[in-house]
Structure 1
Amino acid sequence: MNKKELRNKYLKMRKNLQYEEVEKKSKNIIQKLMDTAWYRQSNTIMSYIDFRNEVITRSFIKHALKDNKRIIVPITDMSSKILILSELKDFDNELCQSSYGILEPKKEYVRVVSCNLLDLVLVPGLAFDTSGYRIGYGGGYYDRLLQRLPQKTITIGLAFEFQIVGNIPVESFDRKVDFIITEERIIRHEH
């Protein structure tokens, strides 16, 4: 299957999940994440805000804020095709829906942060392979971000077990994540 076919297949599969199943599996994934040294030792964490049956990150973000972690969320800049990184301090009051329908900071709460400050980045995806490659929504936003990150930054894909596939077709601009956490396991990418 090519990327477009894989993207459509996994988008449809994820869309068909019942919310209760998404919630239950997400809690398991987030607990695994929070039990890691990567989480405990990180000061500045970038997290996507879940959308359309992605692994739910909202409760994680609120918990991390209470844990005194700096939380950074992405803003999709369609003109430059990059993710602008903004610090979030209050999940309940600082966000609104973007044109994509994704929660992003309201203009008055945009606090731009350099990607060089990130210790840990949580990456969404429609499918991942055990080498750490992913299929996103096709805009290349996360690949461009992953390319800009310092070597020290740990990148973790959050996915449901059914989103792990044999092999994803790879192009020159594709970037791997270091780890993938599903409800069943933590995958260190195989070389």
Structure 2
Amino acid sequence: MADDESIKLGFASPPCYAHELELYDNGYMGIDPQAALDVARWRKAKRNELISARLTLSVKERRALADDIAQELDRIITPTKGTIISMYWPMKGELDLRRWMKEKVAAGSRIALPVVTVKAQPMIFREWKPGIDMEPGIWQIPVPANTDEVTPDVVIAPLVGYDAECFRLGYGGGYFDRTLATLNPRPQVIGIGYENSHLSTIFPQPHDIPMDLIITGKGEIISRE
């Protein structure tokens, strides 16, 4: 729900992007403090709007879309035995790919989940297998309890919103950006989200790291190249 400040800034739905482009052209990438504050408020309002929209979908609709995403992933990723793929444990209406995760483990790939060990610091990745012990992580999201730390070859990241430049609107904590900035060599990074979460821009900040690909299960694959 928009507060008085967000309404004044034009964040109420339906959005008008004219003021956003003006703000973007007037020095946001030059880190103007007021513009950065306005963008942060815009992101918060847009994040809440997009999460609310996806939660209106039925379980059946989300499951069907997750199956479409899984098929697209199989076309894009050709893992060899032992390839480490970082996935995610779904929350807040994110597409549930846990069945695909089990299939990849059965086929010889290794699946990892990101784990926050220190707030506001890069995450680590711990290996996941069906049936392992899990424990509550940040935001009470389950994470592997006692498995080895690994380095992923592929990172699949859930997104709240995205733009044509493959920038990802997440939950605002900055964990994926901090983590990707530390990984060397950089893994292939794929964003997963809903087609109607497309934005004309997320107003990327200097610390934002774009995905290599974004897929939405509707046959459209957005690439940085």
Task: Give TM-score scaled by structure 1 length.
Answer: 0.87
Percent of matched pairs sharing the same residue: 27
Q: 1:60 and 1:22 mapped to 2: Cα distance?
A: 14
Q: 1:166 and 1:174 mapped to 2: Cα distance?
A: 16
Deviations, residues 36-95 of structure 1 (Å, cap 9, x unaligned): 2x333581111112122112121111011001111111112243533121112x223332
After superposing the two structures, state which structure 1 stretch, 5-14 or 92-101, moved more: 92-101
CA contact (8 A) 2:85 2:109 kept: yes
CA contact (8 A) 2:160 2:170 kept: yes
User: How many pairs does the alignment contain?
Assistant: 183
Change in CA separation of 1:33 and 1:138 when aligned onto 2, cut-off 3 Å:
same
Note the C-alpha offset of 1:152: 4.9
Note the C-alpha offset of 1:189: 2.6
As a proportion of its length, which structure holds more strand? 1
Q: Which residue of 1 aligns with 2:149?
A: 112
Q: Which residue of 2 aligns with 1:57?
A: 97
- SS of the aligned residue for 1:100 comes to helix
2:169 is aligned, of 135, 156, 167, to 135
- SS of the aligned residue for 1:180 comes to strand
Deviations, residues 138-178 of structure 1 (Å, cap 9, x unaligned): 10000111212235521000111111221111111111000
CA contact (8 A) 1:123 1:155 kept: yes
Q: Which residue of 1 aligns with 2:4?
A: none
Highest RCO, 1 vs 2 (Cα 8 Å, sep ≥ 6): 1
Change in CA separation of 1:110 and 1:59 when aligned onto 2, cut-off 3 Å:
same
- SS of the aligned residue for 1:104 comes to strand
CA contact (8 A) 1:34 1:40 kept: no
2:209 is aligned, of 170, 175, 178, to 175
Q: Is structure 2 residue 93 aligned with structure 1 residue 75? A: no
Task: Give TM-score scaled by structure 2 length.
Answer: 0.75
As a proportion of its length, which structure holds more helix? 2
2:141 is aligned, of 102, 113, 117, to 102
- SS of the aligned residue for 1:31 comes to helix
Q: Which residue of 1 aligns with 2:223?
A: 188
Q: Which residue of 2 aligns with 1:93?
A: 132
Q: 2:118 and 2:51 mapped to 1: Cα distance?
A: 21
Q: How does 1:1-16 map to 2 (within 5 A)?
A: 2-16=42-56
CA contact (8 A) 2:50 2:160 kept: yes
Note the C-alpha offset of 1:31: 0.9
- SS of the aligned residue for 2:135 comes to strand
**Amino acid in the other structure paired with 1:188:** S
Instruction: Show structure 1 runs of 4+ deviating over 6 A.
Output: none
- SS of the aligned residue for 1:68 comes to coil
